[in-house]
Amino acid sequence: MAILIKPVVTEKMSQQGEKLNRYGFIVDKNANKIQIKDAVEQAYSVQIEAVNTMNYGGKKRSRNTKSGIITGKTNAYKKAIVTLAEGDEIDFYANI
């Protein structure tokens, strides 16, 4: 089971990474905080101080087309904010 799906690379998360040493990840919906902590420590070789998780439900969306109104729903996901220990850092752009 892949716990870490992808990192969250936004302007807000970049600022938190620089100032507060926090990084965001989209994770598996069934993963708990201990599993997330172990996965990040193993993948990036860092020490984790805290893990905060948020569950996002899908939003309803509708759009108008030639054949009528199409309704749907966006995907639900779970986001984890990981606080690293003092002196540790994650560089998402190292592999590019």
Report the CATH number at residue 19. Answer: 3.30.70.330
Distances (CA, A) of 5 to 54, 65, 72, 75, 77: 15, 33, 23, 14, 10
In a domain, 66, yes or no: yes
Give residue 93's pLDDT band: very low, low, confident or very high (50, 70, 90).
Answer: confident
pLDDT at residue number 25 = 96
Residue range 54-77: mean pLDDT, rounded: 94
Count structural domains, the chain.
Answer: 1
Residues 6+ apart with CB under 8 A from 84: 21, 22, 23, 46, 47, 48, 49, 90
3-class state of residue 28 by DSSP: coil
Full residue range of the structural domain in which residue 30 is found: 4-84
In a domain, 96, yes or no: no
In this prediction the pTM is 0.85
In a domain, 91, yes or no: no
In a domain, 94, yes or no: no
